[in-house]
Amino acid sequence: MSWRLRDLVVDAVRNVAGSPTRTVLLALVAAGVVGGLVFTELAFTQDLLDFRARFDASGGHVVIATNDDGLPVARCVALADLDGVVAAAALDQAGPVETNLAPGTLFQTGRTTTGALRLFTTDPHPTVAAVADRWVLGRAAADELGVEAGMWLAVDDAARQVGAVIDTEARNPQVARWILHVVPPTGTTTQCWVEYAPGARSGRIELLDTRFADTGDQLVVRPWIRLDEFSRDPLTELAQRPQRAAWVAAGLLLAASVWSATWLRRAHIGLYRAVGTGPAGLLVLGAVEAALPLLVGGIAGALWAAAAWAAATGHTPQPDQALIAARTAASTLLVAVAAAPLLGPLTARQPIADQLKDR
């Protein structure tokens, strides 16, 4: 007896519907395995994203040019107009001073341009108008002096309003006790701070080297924070994560659960052999019978894992995260569905098949 492909598929679907216990168990196993992989992938990639966010927030894309002989402030500030540059600011340390609110206590002062409002803090940035010719205080200095924006402060007999108080702890903690005076972009400065957009431009250090090449031999250009100072390499970790190869083992584990069910049904498979079903037909039957519960269970498990992860962490998977998790889940199910029917043609109880053929 020869089977048409359509008849084999229909019969396989009937077998799945007629064995609810086996079908549900296989679906639950698939949901657990695939869901576990998806949850792990989302958690792993979120950890890398959190690390990258901390790196960015700490000034990971900031490069500093320093020259004690002086750097042109206008040239420094003009860097902010280049593609891929987020902000640029001049910073010049002016020395320790006393204030009228804390006589005898020294605070560091400095002159800077408006770009520092973007460079030194991750908080909402005060407007340029709010700080024009006013003091900008680091949070530690403001707390120590007991002042807030809008109050007056005299520094070495120069009284001005406090235009803004900025929290520099994440980006530039050394400025936390500074009193900064925002000045026009003229003259020279000892430091030029430049922040680039993540991944927007290569040759960041070389750009500043070229821009200030004529300022003397004292020029030093360096990143504010090097990635190796964080002791992690996200790209290497992503490439070497265990889940990148675990989908093969997970797929074979799912296939093994189908093989166990197939072994218990070897008498049933023998009946198909007895009525003339060849190895190819048995493979089609096995593939359909395995694919239905595995795919349904795997997809349900992946969706459940994504929902559980989102509820537990409060995050929504980013497109790249979802793609990585979906690729791992799909690869696992592909291995499982491809390997699951291979045992079927080998497990039929041949004596039963032979006896039925003889009748």
Q: Binning pLDDT at 50, 70 and 90, where does residue 179 land?
A: very high
Strand 107-112: give its sheet, edge to edge. 152-155, 158-166, 135-138, 178-182, 107-112, 85-97, 188-196, 62-72, 220-223
- Is the backbone of residue 156 left (phi > 0), alpha (psi -120 to 50) or beta? left
Greater confidence (284 vs 44) lies with 44
- 3-state SS class at 68: strand
Q: What is the pLDDT of residue 40?
A: 93
Q: Is residue 230 part of a domain?
A: no
Average pLDDT of the segment spanning 339-359: 59
User: Are 89 and 146 contained in the same domain?
Assistant: yes
- Please count the residues of the chain: 359
Parent domain of 213: 62-224
User: Are 287 and 201 contained in the same domain?
Assistant: no
Last residue of a domain, one of 224, 249, 278: 224
* Number of domains the chain contains: 2
Average pLDDT of the segment spanning 84-101: 89
**Of the ranges 169-173, 180-184, 284-288, 350-354, which one carries the lowest mean pLDDT score?**
350-354
User: Are 212 and 319 contained in the same domain?
Assistant: no
100-134 confidence digits (pLDDT tens): 888 888 999 989 888 888 888 877 666 766 787 88
Provide the H-helix boundaries in 103-176: 116-119, 128-131, 139-145
User: Are 326 and 287 contained in the same domain?
Assistant: yes
User: Are 48 and 178 contained in the same domain?
Assistant: no
**Of the ranges 212-221, 226-235, 291-300, which one carries the lowest mean pLDDT score?**
226-235
User: Are 75 and 176 contained in the same domain?
Assistant: yes
Strands 62-72 and 152-155 turn out to be: unpaired
Greater confidence (119 vs 13) lies with 119
Cα(298)–Cα(318) distance, integer angstroms: 21
User: Are 139 and 206 contained in the same domain?
Assistant: yes
Q: Binning pLDDT at 50, 70 and 90, where does residue 289 land?
A: confident
Q: What is the pLDDT of residue 290?
A: 79
187-210 confidence digits (pLDDT tens): 999 999 999 988 776 788 889 999
Q: Binning pLDDT at 50, 70 and 90, where does residue 173 land?
A: confident
